[in-house]
């Protein structure tokens, strides 16, 4: 959940330099709500009921009359607002402030510029209680009209969704993107019920041990409140199955009926967090509007439009009672993808937006059956079975989660059962969540099944569309998994992740079934062979085939540059820019996946440089012995001091345990002030 908003928000504009505490209104682009307010940026505190001060930055419109009051939009995050997200936050909240909406950006207690002890997990009780208190305080400010909204992406989408279950009285609406209503299976810990160890873990835990800005003092309070707090990875590995830890007050799917305020939800076709949009459209009874764009978690690829314009219209309607027309929009704006060739560096997605109501009424289901001869047909054929030898390193083409741009899938498909349809004779457009039924068996007591939907292009290249996984031990229950009985046949029925796609004439539909998705899912530990029953009714995939809607599309404005914020500058291009995993495989079956990234910038005289490296290692001959090694550092130069906070996380597995160690170090001016190590052997819980 490291990246928070579409990349368009991070673009640095070529506007003239603005004065930090007296920002003048720029001229609006054609068709955009006019920017009629000047604003100021103010640093302040929100004091919690237990006395802990949380740091808040306000983007405050300048009132035109003494009695004018404004609505407030809150975002609470652990990502440091006064250095790391210094420019990102300004790009969002300056836009709102120019249009008469106060932005309140708060650092979670124990992180960034806030005081207090770092919480013991994401979305802790302390964090959620602080949000409730902050909403009440914001509503009571003398400049507030009493109406508060929550906005944000990823982390701040999650905690905003959780607030809808708590119903703070002053919270009148949310506007979120890249969220989740199922914290167990639709977050970065247990994707679809399979154990996922994400490179983000290291980044987040390093963020947690950065000293409080803007002073960055390494004193006793820092070590007690931040550095010495137990790394979160241990808590997550102690909860490998679903239950209260993931559900209680945190997974909206357990209490959709609690939502009684208007919600605007956005997902991306190339983002891992998109199914929550469909879950909310299906189950929420309050006012809901939704969009599913072609974007990934960081905002690419395009085409893009100006989402802040939609947010302003939403907040003017929901928090100020102004009729902006947004309530007349169709329930869902969704990007229908064309037949997109495989391209890891995709910049622009073929296709166009559709405006549809939900559920989509003009949908039919295409029922396809895999066969023994690897065909995928609509007509049933005699039943049979096919076998697959388990290869733990299979599935590398999908990379880190169910999103992102992907390369040609042919190499990944070599380690799987592959079923192809006949070439399409006319376009077939799908919109929704394909449904899968597998009838399977395994020779081991633990196995995962992965299904991928792909497009075979006429030139033979293969495009990834969507997929999903099921942990076979969770065939009856996620909260009470049961080991597989070797050789016993059973059925798995599950949806694939939401998608849109156009199969053009001459293209083939491909269904892929495999037992590994490396490095997304930690491999199951036993050598095995699995069997898939095929033919008449045993295994099937159903595709939601849709026709274009007659509903009119609202006008979507082109993206606009963000206002620059004086005080921050990038320190030249980094040679460690985020990118896909790099894979290496030797002849013996030893496979590594490496990710490497870093940043370097200066903000208000302080320089920050980060460096992260993550390596997964696996030997196909011994699937139990997987290794994850993540090492990184935060280097901060401030007021003549050079501070380095570093962490190394190592997870090794065997058939019974995850052997976990975390080592932290705090160094100032070349002298180690403190080091701390945590070690634990955590039993594998049917993972």
Full DSSP string of 655-676: SSEEEEEEEEEEEETTEEEEEE
The span from the CA of 561 to the CA of 350, in Å, is 24
Sequence-separated (6 or more) residues with CB below 8 Å from residue 294: 268, 269, 270, 301, 302, 303, 335, 337, 349, 351
pLDDT for 34 equals 72
Which region holds residue 123: left if phi is over 0, alpha if psi is between -120 and 50, else beta? Answer: left
The answer, yes or no, to whether residue 7 has pLDDT greater than 50, is: no
- Asked whether residue 228 is assigned to any structural domain, the reply reads no
Mean pLDDT value across the chain: 93
- Asked whether residue 265 is assigned to any structural domain, the reply reads no
**CA 278 remoteness from chain centre:** 15
Sequence-separated (6 or more) residues with CB below 8 Å from residue 437: 491, 492, 493, 539, 540, 541
Q: Are 155 and 80 in contact (CB under 8 A)?
A: no
DSSP 8-state assignment for residue 201: H
The span from the CA of 258 to the CA of 265, in Å, is 16
Q: Which of 259, 294, 313 is the last residue of a domain?
A: 259
- Do 582 and 469 reside in the same domain of the chain? no
pLDDT digits (tens, 9 = 90+) for 10-38: 322 222 222 222 344 444 444 566 779 99
Residue 122 belongs to domain with CATH number:
3.40.50.1820
- Do 413 and 485 reside in the same domain of the chain? yes
Its domain, for residue 527, covers 363-546
- Do 14 and 132 reside in the same domain of the chain? yes
Beta strands in 390-536 (DSSP E): 417-420, 428-432, 435-442, 448-456, 462-471, 490-495, 499-503, 508-514, 529-534
What does the pLDDT average to over 513-529? 97
Residue 2 pLDDT level (bands cut at 50, 70, 90): very low
Give the N- to C-terminal CA distance of the chain in Å, as an integer: 22
What does the pLDDT average to over 594-606? 93
pLDDT digits (tens, 9 = 90+) for 462-503: 999 999 999 999 999 999 999 999 999 999 999 999 999 999
Q: Which of 504, 531, 546 is the last residue of a domain?
A: 546
C-alpha closest to that of 456 among 500, 409, 496:
409
- Do 494 and 576 reside in the same domain of the chain? no
- Asked whether residue 268 is assigned to any structural domain, the reply reads no
Percentage of residues of the chain with pLDDT beyond 70: 94
What does the pLDDT average to over 521-531? 98
- Asked whether residue 504 is assigned to any structural domain, the reply reads yes
Which region holds residue 67: left if phi is over 0, alpha if psi is between -120 and 50, else beta? Answer: alpha
Residue 401 pLDDT level (bands cut at 50, 70, 90): confident
- Do 660 and 576 reside in the same domain of the chain? yes
In sequence order, the β-bridge partners of residue 659 are 652, 681
Spell 564-582 as b/e; 16+ CB within 10 A means b.
bbebbeeeeebebeeeebe
- Do 493 and 613 reside in the same domain of the chain? no
- Do 513 and 599 reside in the same domain of the chain? no
Which H or E element spans position 194? strand 194-195
- Asked whether residue 219 is assigned to any structural domain, the reply reads no
Q: Is the pTM of this model over 0.85?
A: yes
pLDDT for 556 equals 94
- Asked whether residue 60 is assigned to any structural domain, the reply reads yes
The span from the CA of 180 to the CA of 369, in Å, is 31
The span from the CA of 37 to the CA of 94, in Å, is 10
DSSP 8-state assignment for residue 559: P
- Do 538 and 634 reside in the same domain of the chain? no
The answer, yes or no, to whether residue 662 has pLDDT greater than 70, is: yes
| Residue 318 backbone phi and psi in degrees, to 5 | -80, -35
| Overall domain count for the chain | 3
- Do 483 and 594 reside in the same domain of the chain? no
Residue 400 pLDDT level (bands cut at 50, 70, 90): confident
DSSP 8-state assignment for residue 643: E
pLDDT for 300 equals 87
- Asked whether residue 388 is assigned to any structural domain, the reply reads yes
Q: How far is CA 306 from CA 105, 160, 310, 352, 465, in A?
A: 21, 22, 7, 16, 26
- In the structure encoding, which two tokens stand for residue 76, read together? 């609470």
Residue 453 belongs to domain with CATH number:
2.60.120.260
pLDDT for 579 equals 60
- Do 498 and 598 reside in the same domain of the chain? no
- Asked whether residue 234 is assigned to any structural domain, the reply reads no
The span from the CA of 532 to the CA of 270, in Å, is 29
- Do 539 and 573 reside in the same domain of the chain? no
Q: Are 546 and 363 in contact (CB under 8 A)?
A: yes
- Do 489 and 538 reside in the same domain of the chain? yes
């Amino acid at each position: 959940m490291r990246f928070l908003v579409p990349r368009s928000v991070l673009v640095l504009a070529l506007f003239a330099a603005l004065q930090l505490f007296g920002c003048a209104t720029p001229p609006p682009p054609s068709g955009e709500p006019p920017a009629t307010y000047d604003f100021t940026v103010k640093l302040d505190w929100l004091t919690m009921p237990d006395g802990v001060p949380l740091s808040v930055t306000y983007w405050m419109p300048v009132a035109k009359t003494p009695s004018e009051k404004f609505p407030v939009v809150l975002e609470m995050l652990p990502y440091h607002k006064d250095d790391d997200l210094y420019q990102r936050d300004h790009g969002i909240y300056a836009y709102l402030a120019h249009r008469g909406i106060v932005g309140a950006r708060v650092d979670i207690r124990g992180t960034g510029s806030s005081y207090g002890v770092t919480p013991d997990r994401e979305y802790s009780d302390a964090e959620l209680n602080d949000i409730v208190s902050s909403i009440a305080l914001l509503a009571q400010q003398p400049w507030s009209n009493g109406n508060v909204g929550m906005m944000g992406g990823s982390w701040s989408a999650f905690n905003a969704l959780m607030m809808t279950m708590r119903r703070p009285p002053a919270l009148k609406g949310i506007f979120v993107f890249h969220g989740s209503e199922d914290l167990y299976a639709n977050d970065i810990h247990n994707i679809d019920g399979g154990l996922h160890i994400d490179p983000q873990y290291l980044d987040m835990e390093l963020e947690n041990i950065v000293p409080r800005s803007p002073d960055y003092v390494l004193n006793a309070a820092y070590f007690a409140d931040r550095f010495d707090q137990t790394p979160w990875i241990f808590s997550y590995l102690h909860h490998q199955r679903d239950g209260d830890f993931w559900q209680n007050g945190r997974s909206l799917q357990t209490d959709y009926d609690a939502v009684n305020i208007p919600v605007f939800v956005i997902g991306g076709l190339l983002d891992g967090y998109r199914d929550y949009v469909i879950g909310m459209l299906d189950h929420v009874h309050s006012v809901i509007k939704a969009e599913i764009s072609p974007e990934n978690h960081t905002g690419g690829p395009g085409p893009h439009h100006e989402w802040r314009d939609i947010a302003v219209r939403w907040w003017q309607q929901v928090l100020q009672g102004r009729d902006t027309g947004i309530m007349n929009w169709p329930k869902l704006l969704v990007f229908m993808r064309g037949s997109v060739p495989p391209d890891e560096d995709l910049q622009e997605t073929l296709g166009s937006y559709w405006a549809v109501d939900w559920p989509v009424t003009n949908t039919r289901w295409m029922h396809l059956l895999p066969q023994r001869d690897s065909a995928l047909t609509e007509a049933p054929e005699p039943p049979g079975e096919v076998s697959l030898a388990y290869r733990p390193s299979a599935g590398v083409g999908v990379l880190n989660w169910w999103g992102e741009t992907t390369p040609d899938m042919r190499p990944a498909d070599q380690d799987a059962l592959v079923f192809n349809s006949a070439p399409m004779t006319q376009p077939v457009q799908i919109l929704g969540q394909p449904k899968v039924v597998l009838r399977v068996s395994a020779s081991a007591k633990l196995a995962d099944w992965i299904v991928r939907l792909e497009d075979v292009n006429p030139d033979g290249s293969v495009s990834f569309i969507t997929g999903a996984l099921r942990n076979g031990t969770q065939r009856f229950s996620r909260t009470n998994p049961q080991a597989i009985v070797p050789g016993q046949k059973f059925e798995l029925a599950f949806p694939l992740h939401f998608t849109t796609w156009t199969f053009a004439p001459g293209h083939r539909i491909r269904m892929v079934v495999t037992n590994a998705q490396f490095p997304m899912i930690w491999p199951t530990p036993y050598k095995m062979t699995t069997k898939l029953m095929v033919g008449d009714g045993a295994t099937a995939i159903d595709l939601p085939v849709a026709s274009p809607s007659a509903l009119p599309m609202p006008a979507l404005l082109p993206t606009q540059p963000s206002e620059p914020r004086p005080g921050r500058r990038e320190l030249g291009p980094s040679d460690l820019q985020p990118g896909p995993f790099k894979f290496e495989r030797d002849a013996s079956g030893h496979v590594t996946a490496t990710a490497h990234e870093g940043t370097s910038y200066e903000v208000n005289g302080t320089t920050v440089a980060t460096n992260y490296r993550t390596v997964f290692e696996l030997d196909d001959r011994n699937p139990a012995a997987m290794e994850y090694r993540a090492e990184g550092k935060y280097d901060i130069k401030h007021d003549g001091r050079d501070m380095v906070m570093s962490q190394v996380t190592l997870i090794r597995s065997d058939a019974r345990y995850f052997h976990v160690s975390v080592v932290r170090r705090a160094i100032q001016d070349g002298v180690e002030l403190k080091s701390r190590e945590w070690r634990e052997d955590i039993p594998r819980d049917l993972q």
